[in-house]
Amino acid sequence: MPLAVYVLGLSVFALGTSEFMLSGILQPLARDMGVTIPQAGLLVSAFAIGMVVGAPVLAGATLQLPRRTTLIALLTVFGLGQVAGAVAPSYGVLFVSRVVSALACAGFWAVGAAVAVSLVPVTARARAMAVMVGGLSIANIAGVPAGALLGQHAGWRSAFWAVAVLSAIGLVGVIALVPRTAVPTGDERPVLRRELSIYRDKQVWLALIGTALNGAAVFALFSYLAPLLTDTAGLAEGSVPTVLALFGVGALIGTFVGGRVADAHPFGTIIAGIGASATVLALLALTAQNSVAAVTLSLLLGVTAFATAPALNARMFNVATAAPTLAGATTTSAFNLGNTIGPWLGGLVISAGWGYPAVAWTAAALAALGVATTLVALRLHRTKSTSRLVASSAGTPRHTTASATGTAGTVDAAHTAETARTVQAAGTVEAADRS
């Protein structure tokens, strides 16, 4: 695996720490800002909304810019957003800082994912994405619990300052190790209209919906995991960082396992992973008052939730081969659309007075819908030839009739001078996408 891919994973560690750390500092933040827990939970949704909007917008806006320059600019804006959050005088200012940070985070994810898959062969895409997703897993193991400890002992603002420092370290790594790329010209020049054509494909939409439902299921529960552990399971508030670290350990295990099997069995990995998450969430709803069960199931949820991430990412790149930049952006938007819907639905359940176990039931239902959506995609994949958009040498989209098990030509994911070239499809562009 190229070193630059690991550098991108390191940068994602800083992004992921910021995105997820609110789950560990939700209570002190709410007390300091004078807002309710559901209102504080909306800060999670604010970040996710910024990711949903920012990924495709920034991916399109920077399509013809050097990717390394784009990554540097976005990581700089993200770091400044953390500083703004650390000094925010009010809930409103903090809300805005989260949205701005999310916009930069989304752009980095979209461009970084395209760079990562461009540096490896098509059969290693899931492994490359596993490295980036691994940055999120490590953020859950180290960053989120550390943020919770800082929030409890040095004030929640210290967690934002810590992420600002992490962003600076990531920025140095990107500047030093991510290779420079020239802006493609001529037929290799990325064209927004051509990339937008992927949205005519049913499988792209099914992949998007399945990804969003998986994210919604996980974050409906994870966003309120700390109060569930303290108010329902009876754990002390000081135990929350440890449980969050266990969730992160599970996430790292899940990412490793998912990255190993997803290239060969994407549908099987997705269905098994989301189905397992639905089961874990239902069990958590039933046993939330038992502290041992709640802690154990939190660990298992990390495993099941993140086992699907490499497969979900790789699948979107496989079904949207002609538009790698928007493929990465679409996946990012889909994940964070779920991250928006999940905490919002969880907040509604809490506000209705149904309790934190009801949030787990809601999350389980969302996961079940994710499994159903993926089964529809699998049925379509198996029962009819699937049309895929690939770029012709003239730079205009054309359709190729795909076999479910054939081999494929592909347009390289990075659009860089070294790798961006048009490949005529002889079979299917979805070589890795077999269940």
| DSSP assignments along 179-247, one per residue | PP-PPP-GGGS--HHHHHGGGG-HHHHHHHHHHHHHHHHHHHHHTTHHHIIIIIS---GGGHHHHHHHH
**No. of helices (H) and no. of strands (E), the chain:** 17, 2
Six token digits for residue 21:
């750390």
Report the pLDDT value the prediction gives residue 188, as an integer from 0 to 100. Answer: 55
Whole-number Å distance between alpha carbons of 279 and 300: 10
The residue among 143 and 188 whose pLDDT is bigger is 143
Name all domains of the chain by residue range, CATH numbers in brackets.
Answer: 3-383 (1.20.1250.20)
Percent of the chain beyond pLDDT 70? 78
Mean pLDDT of all residues in 414-433: 35
Non-local (6+) Cβ contacts of 125 within 8 A are 117, 263, 313, 314, 317, 318, 413, 432
Identify the band that residue 426 occupies on the pLDDT scale cut at 50, 70 and 90: very low
Contact 49, 340 (CB under 8 A): yes
The type of residue at 32 is D
> Per the structure block, which two tokens stand in for 154?
């040095």
Positive or negative torsion for Cα 275, 281, 287, 291: positive
Minimum mean pLDDT among 319-333, 355-369, 415-429: which range?
Answer: 415-429
CA distance 173 to 170: 5
**What is the distance between the alpha carbons of residues 405 and 383, in angstroms, rounded to a whole number?**
12
What string of DSSP letters covers 103-137? HHHHHHHHHHHHHHHHTS-GGGHHHHHHHHHHHHH
| Radius of gyration in angstroms for the set of CA atoms belonging to the chain, rounded to a whole number | 21
Per-residue pLDDT reduced to its tens digit, 192-202: 666 676 677 78
Alpha carbon of residue 107 to chain centroid:
12
More confident residue, 340 or 355: 355
Angle in degrees, CA 155, 158, 164, rounded to 5: 160
Which of 134, 133, 161 lies closest to 147 in space, CA to CA? 161
Under a CB-based contact definition with an 8 Å cutoff, are residues 237 and 349 in contact? Answer: no
* Range with top average pLDDT, 37-46, 92-101, 192-201: 92-101
Can you give 300-364 as a three-state secondary structure string? HHHHHHHHCHHHHHHHHHHHCCCCHHHHHHHHHHHHHHHHHHHHHHHHHHHHCCCCHHHHHHHHH
Q: What is the pLDDT of residues 124-173, one digit of tens each?
A: 766 777 777 677 667 766 777 787 788 777 888 888 998 899 888 888 88
Q: Average pLDDT, stretch 315-338?
A: 72
Prediction pTM value? 0.64
